[in-house]
Amino acid sequence: MPPTLASASRFLFILACRASPASGFVLEPSLPLSPLALSPKSSRIATNGGSIPLSAVREATFGMGCFWEPAESLLKQPGVLATTVGYTGAPPNKPPPTYDSVCFGNDWVEAVRVAYDDELVSYNQLLDYFFQLQKPAYSRQYASIIFVNDATEAKDAKQWKKESVSSGKQERGDNLSYDVVDIESASPFFRAEEYHQRYWEKQRLRLLLGLTLIAGESGAYNEFFDGALGKVEIFGLSFESACGAFFFVSAAWLLLERLIARDVQELKQGDLITLAKQN
């Protein structure tokens, strides 16, 4: 592959993976929202460990800073059944957001919506997870916020914060203060573009594939199978050039998808469980 094209490929790949959040490589299958499914024949959630009555499943929404990592980390906690990332917290009558309007505005908050089993994890324990795993910054977009659904949650969240502040306990190595946490009433929640969902899971796959293609472009596999791989041609291209071309097309697709994606949709309370059912 010509050096200029190879350099352009690497530049596009780095730009797509680091500067612009985007979905997986070409033909990457959609990843499920969560590791659960809703049983259509009963009022229970089916999971690998058994089933949970629907009455025990609740949802909560948190502003946790950049939502990519906290959404994945929360999903690993006991009792958490599903997560999705989106935008919320804007004043009434605002038009549906896009990632660009969130980044360049001052109305929307990047948020994580959680479905959890309140027989396995209490709301207060979920608030502890929220505080420990958040990555807030000093802007509205990345604010630390508990979005409460009703008066009971508001009372519990205020009591949790008051007790946490007064106790002086430190749950984090960076000594983040509980005072940074705000409590707001829940407002319309819009599920973010698909390329944001399970973002770091996709990033690890992209990185592995990208490194594999770069190695192929450099000739690292030419001696495989007694040198046969180095003689392979794909659509008239040498194996090295084919790896480089696929790398270039994949990186270009990442940027294109980032520019054209507008698949933001509003989620009502309970919709996360329904979305999980569909996946």
Active site residues: 66
CA distances from 111 to 69, 136, 197 (A): 11, 11, 12
Query: Residue 220 in 3-state DSSP?
Result: coil
* Alpha carbon distance 122, 32 (integer Å): 25
CB 10 within 8 A of CB 253: no
Cα Rg of the chain (Å, integer): 22
Instruction: Give, in order, the Cα–Cα distances in Å from 30 to each of 26, 112, 169, 191, 195.
Output: 11, 19, 41, 15, 9
Beta bridge partners of residue 183, listed in sequence order: 146
Question: What are phi and psi for residue 188, nearest 5 degrees?
Answer: -50, 135
**DSSP 8-class letter at 22:** -
What are the tokens at 220?
């690292």
Question: Can you tell me the distance from the alpha carbon of 264 to that of 37, in angstroms, rounded to the nearest whole number?
Answer: 22
